[in-house]
Amino acid sequence: MNADQGTPVIFFGCLIVEAALLYFTPTWIAERRWHCNVNAIFALNILLGWTFLGWVIALVWSLTDNVYVEVEEEVEEEVEA
């Protein structure tokens, strides 16, 4: 067996792994930021992420602020005052 015969397999294996990491970037960002809609972002990423528009929407959504945390902080500030 020639050593060059395994090179395309390794190359395409790495390419598939890198594509999967890029594909699930919105879900990873949402999970790392403790986004309250991480499950919905994951579902959008799975169902519509294959379209560029669906992936961009999931990415933007994962970068938005978590509205529920801000509301809770405002309520706590009003209770203390």
Q: Which residues contact 68 (CB under 8 A, 6 or more apart)?
A: 36
Position 71 scores a pLDDT of: 52
Rounded-to-integer distance, Cα 77 and Cα 31, Å: 27
Task: Give the pLDDT band of residue 7 (cuts 50, 70, 90).
Answer: confident
Q: What is the pTM of this model?
A: 0.70
User: What are the pLDDT digits (tens) for 30-70?
Assistant: 998 889 899 999 999 999 999 999 999 999 999 998 755 55
Rounded-to-integer distance, Cα 36 and Cα 40, Å: 9
Position 65 scores a pLDDT of: 85
Position 70 scores a pLDDT of: 52
